[in-house]
A and B are shown apart, each in its own frame.
Chain A
Amino acid sequence: MSTPFLSIRNLGVTFTGGMRPVRAVNDVSLDVAEGEAVALIGESGSGKSVTMRAIMRLNPEARTRLQGSIDLGGRDVLKMTKRELSDLRGAQAAMIFQEPLLALDPVYSLGDQIVETIRRHEPITREAARARALELFERVRIPSAKSRLDNYPHEMSGGMRQRAMIALALSCRPKLLLADEPTTALDATVQIQVLLLLRELQRDLGLSIIFVTHDIGAAVEVADRIAVMYAGQIVEQASARELVRTPRHPYTLGLLKSRADGAMVKGARLEAIPGAPPDLANLPEGCPFAPRCFLAEDACRAGTVDMQQLGPTHDARCRRLDATQPLQNA
């Protein structure tokens, strides 16, 4: 692996706005190489989106405490001034949101929003920016792109909106694309089209992508590497194939078992992980997954658990990796 384009080290995100601090992200380290697609998967509230937003420092400044470092293209995002930060946002790194209807300004046409973004970062004329917006719309395969540029977000279908959002994100030729559940709000058929589009763009433009999803199937489809998050930590990461074939963390095992597709025979029980994720304002001592883990022993409930290296591209954060070795072959 060449030097990573994005290198997150020991990232901690704590929200201090409420009654007690909420540790949303805890000691996350993640590398993304140039042109690599990494998927972050996990339950709601496991810190996926917060991690994503921390990369561009989009969490509300006044109520957020950030620790660690985020090295993007050789500079630490957490040490940037406001000015440097807004120069970076949209230009070097861009974000795609889950629900484009909510993430686009409703009273500006899509063309205007793209032109505005381009002209924010590059000194070009309105006409040139508009020509590029048209190119982008064609690139993401929006039919009758020219007239669609004048559409407002509410005038488009969900799939078209997400394509427009992707066009907007790519408008300043970013190197890193942060896609926060880009297909969750879409119909199943449209989901696949958008995923294929993302993968194609990633290959053609050499983009690095971090892709947040609940959907392991989608993650395998798009990502080279998958990181599984639980209670604000990455509990396991490996190449997509390795993670699906030889999962080692009990949580990953549980996630893979609880998938509905293929295994759903009439009358068969859908396996689920018992219990609920912990309260992030009140994390249990030791491994946060221990209360729900079928392998947990007393040692798991005390002290912190460190990341264990299992192979050149496979890490897991668990004390009972010895016990999961035979399980995955079963």
Chain B
Amino acid sequence: MFGYTLRRIIYTAPVLLGVAVVCFALVHISPGDPLISILPADASVDLQNRLRTLYGFDRSYPEQFILWLGRALQGDLGTSIATGRPVTTEVMRAVANTLMLAAVATFIGFVLGCFFGFVAGYFSNSPLDKAASAAAVFGVSVPHYWLGMVLVIIFSAQLGWFPAAGAGPGGSSQWKFDMEHLSYMVLPALTMSVIPMGIIARTVRALVAEILAQEFVIGLRARGLSELGVFLHVVKNAAPTALAVMGVQLGYLLGGSILIETVFSWPGTGMLLNSAIFQRDLPLLQGTILVLAMFFVVLNLAVDVLQSALDPRIKR
């Protein structure tokens, strides 16, 4: 187990390098000069050149890449062109906000998804299954920014139960786990949880139906196990796949749903990316994408390790 984990960690190194290359290349391939957006239209050529040298945009791409990677390895992702603040600080603050939101959303989605999935799988083709499956399809297919706005209209504007936007009364900088701050999270987390809920519910339904059709379930009953006992076996059989799906979903949500974070003005990675793209803030854009991609890789690693711990058939 330990050897397998170590091997998997080593395997992630080339993946991360690839991620860095792609993320650097993508940002530089896209057209547009990053300096134009911050310089006045009548800035002198001399000033343009000085700034270009300062940010290193005058060097060749390979050179820029190696310099950027070298600094990134030391935790320095450069300086944001738009704000002049270090990219690392900006990204980390946004990631912390998004991570919190995404973790809560995934948790809600996982619990509800598993519940609907198990009900649908156990009573497959009954009205209960139809209802649970309908809920899952709704989760996958409803436009979530629309759902977000509807929730805001109902629960903020009409009922006034929850705040409509932001990450707390004092902005995003002083997050605390108290009722007041948590109330800001309810609506965005609920909106965000709908997608993983739908996907997990559908996966779990298919899994449970498939497991229940296997002969070993009859084998378990033939040993005198109660329905609860059989259920526990089904759970353990379904767990590896369900967890893998959950991990991938958490990864997607970490990228921050740009639309949901915009609707709720949640100061996370989605909003950060949004502004970085519109302001052509290359260092910020690069840094954010790199950090998110790294989270995705690490998350997949964690899921793989967990999966192999749960399912003995996965080769270690």
Chain B residues with Cβ under 8 A from A94's Cβ? Answer: 222-223
Report A156 CB to chain B, min CB distance, Å. 12
- A99-107, A124-132, A236-244: which lies at the B interface? A99-107
- Does A257 reach chain B (CB closer than 8 Å)? no
In the complex, what residue of chain B is closest to A121 when comparing beta carbons? B224
- Does B75 reach chain A (CB closer than 8 Å)? no
Asked if A104 and B216 sit within 8 Å, CB to CB, the answer is yes
Q: Which of A86, A102, A107 is B310 in contact with, Cβ under 8 Å?
A: A107
Complex A-B: 9 CB contacts under 8 Å? A86-B226, A105-B220, A106-B312, A107-B240, A109-B312, A120-B225, A121-B224, A155-B312, A172-B224
Given A103-B218, A154-B313, 13 more A-B residue pairs with CB atoms under 8 Å apart are: A56-B222, A89-B224, A90-B223, A90-B224, A91-B224, A94-B222, A104-B216, A105-B220, A107-B310, A107-B312, A108-B236, A116-B223, A152-B313
Asked if A105 and B216 sit within 8 Å, CB to CB, the answer is yes
Chain B residues with Cβ under 8 A from A152's Cβ? Answer: 312-313
Asked if B237 and A105 sit within 8 Å, CB to CB, the answer is yes
Report A258 CB to chain B, min CB distance, Å. 29
- Does A117 reach chain B (CB closer than 8 Å)? yes
- Does B56 reach chain A (CB closer than 8 Å)? no
Asked if B214 and A107 sit within 8 Å, CB to CB, the answer is no
In the complex, what residue of chain A is closest to B222 when comparing beta carbons? A95
- Does A97 reach chain B (CB closer than 8 Å)? yes
Q: Which of A90, A106, A155 is B216 in contact with, Cβ under 8 Å?
A: A106
Chain A residues with Cβ under 8 A from B223's Cβ? Answer: 89-90, 94, 116-117, 120, 168
Q: Which of A102, A107, A120 is B229 in contact with, Cβ under 8 Å?
A: A120
Asked if B222 and A90 sit within 8 Å, CB to CB, the answer is yes
In the complex, what residue of chain A is closest to B226 when comparing beta carbons? A86
Asked if A89 and B216 sit within 8 Å, CB to CB, the answer is no
In the complex, what residue of chain A is closest to B220 when comparing beta carbons? A105
- Does B71 reach chain A (CB closer than 8 Å)? no
Report B243 CB to chain A, min CB distance, Å. 13
A91→B222 CA distance, assembly (Å): 10
In the complex, what residue of chain A is closest to B236 when comparing beta carbons? A107
Asked if A87 and B215 sit within 8 Å, CB to CB, the answer is no
**1/0 contact trace for B272-316 toward A, CB 8 Å?**
000000000000000000000000000000000000001111000
Chain B residues with Cβ under 8 A from A95's Cβ? Answer: 219, 222
A231→B313 CA distance, assembly (Å): 40
- Does B221 reach chain A (CB closer than 8 Å)? yes
A89→B230 CA distance, assembly (Å): 14
A58→B220 CA distance, assembly (Å): 10
Given contacts A87-B224, A121-B224, contact A103 B219 (CB under 8 A): yes
Asked if B221 and A120 sit within 8 Å, CB to CB, the answer is no
A56→B222 CA distance, assembly (Å): 7
Chain B residues with Cβ under 8 A from A89's Cβ? Answer: 221-224
Asked if A104 and B224 sit within 8 Å, CB to CB, the answer is no
In the complex, what residue of chain A is closest to B239 when comparing beta carbons? A107
Residues of B176-223 contacting chain A, CB below 8 A: 214-216, 218-223
Report B207 CB to chain A, min CB distance, Å. 13
In the complex, what residue of chain A is closest to B311 when comparing beta carbons? A107
Chain A residues with Cβ under 8 A from B218's Cβ? Answer: 53, 58, 97, 103
- Does A307 reach chain B (CB closer than 8 Å)? no
- Does A88 reach chain B (CB closer than 8 Å)? yes
Report A52 CB to chain B, min CB distance, Å. 10
